């Protein structure tokens, strides 16, 4: 997939009405500062289109990126941000829930987990919750450049075991620095969105 155009088309806050898109969507979820914006920028081949931030919890909206007028990358609010007030966190949770219930064109949910650490309770809750909505989350194990190559298999196995992933479930190690995994993720997105149409 060659990225010709990228447009941040819709931004939805807690009180916004979600758009009724007709083109396929893939959504990205993950806790704050797991590297979601960096991943989305890498997929879009843009340096800083999705805002990355040193202070986690910046994405408090659902952001719809229109790619080539063919599909949407949907950036969901980061969860598990300690400094956010309970009301705000509840608002984000409702936003994500509404999105998963209402989108008629969602093809896949990508759940980002930091490869260096065991998935947190929030990660496990999100994984189980997305599955309960009828989607099999695709795991993206971020920050792969921060571990030694020799540790990769061990860390991937630990994530699979902690989440209780069924055999054959997809997991892509990814690094925003080296772009490891970027092409595989883009190929997978293309296979589930564009090859059907």
pLDDT digits (tens, 9 = 90+) for 128-142: 989 998 999 999 999
Q: How far apart are CA 139 and CA 30, in angstroms?
A: 10
Two structure tokens written together for 22: 């007709």
Q: How far apart are CA 109 and CA 25, in angstroms?
A: 9
Question: How far, CA to CA in Å, does 170 sit from each of 16, 160, 162, 163, 184?
Answer: 32, 10, 15, 12, 11
pLDDT reading at 188 higher than 90:
yes
pLDDT tens string 6-26: 999 999 987 889 999 999 999
End-to-end C-alpha distance for the chain, whole angstroms: 14
Mean pLDDT of 124-128: 91
Give the confidence band of 68 by pLDDT, cuts at 50, 70, 90: very high
pLDDT score for 90: 62
To the nearest 10°, the Cα dihedral for 123, 129, 132, 136? Answer: -40
Give the confidence band of 78 by pLDDT, cuts at 50, 70, 90: confident
Query: Which has the closest alpha carbon to 26: 58, 69, 71?
Result: 71
């Amino acid at each position: 997939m060659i990225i010709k155009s990228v447009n941040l088309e819709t931004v939805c806050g807690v009180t916004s009405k979600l758009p009724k898109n007709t083109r396929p969507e893939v959504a990205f979820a993950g806790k704050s500062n797991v590297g979601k914006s960096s991943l989305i920028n890498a997929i879009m081949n843009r340096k800083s289109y999705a805002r990355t931030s040193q202070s986690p919890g910046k994405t408090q909206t659902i952001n719809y990126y229109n790619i080539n007028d063919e599909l949407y990358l949907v950036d969901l609010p980061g969860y598990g941000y300690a400094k956010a007030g309970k009301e705000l966190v509840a608002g984000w949770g409702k936003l994500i829930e509404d999105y998963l219930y209402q989108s008629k064109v969602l093809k896949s949910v990508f759940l980002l987990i930091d490869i260096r650490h065991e998935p947190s309770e929030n990660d496990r809750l999100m994984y189980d919750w997305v599955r309960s909505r009828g989607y099999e989350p695709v795991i993206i194990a971020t920050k792969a450049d921060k571990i030694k190559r020799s540790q990769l298999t061990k860390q991937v196995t630990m994530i699979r075991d902690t989440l209780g992933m069924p055999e054959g479930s997809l997991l892509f190690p990814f690094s925003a620095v080296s772009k490891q995994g970027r092409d595989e993720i883009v190929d997978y997105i293309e296979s589930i969105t564009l090859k059907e149409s």
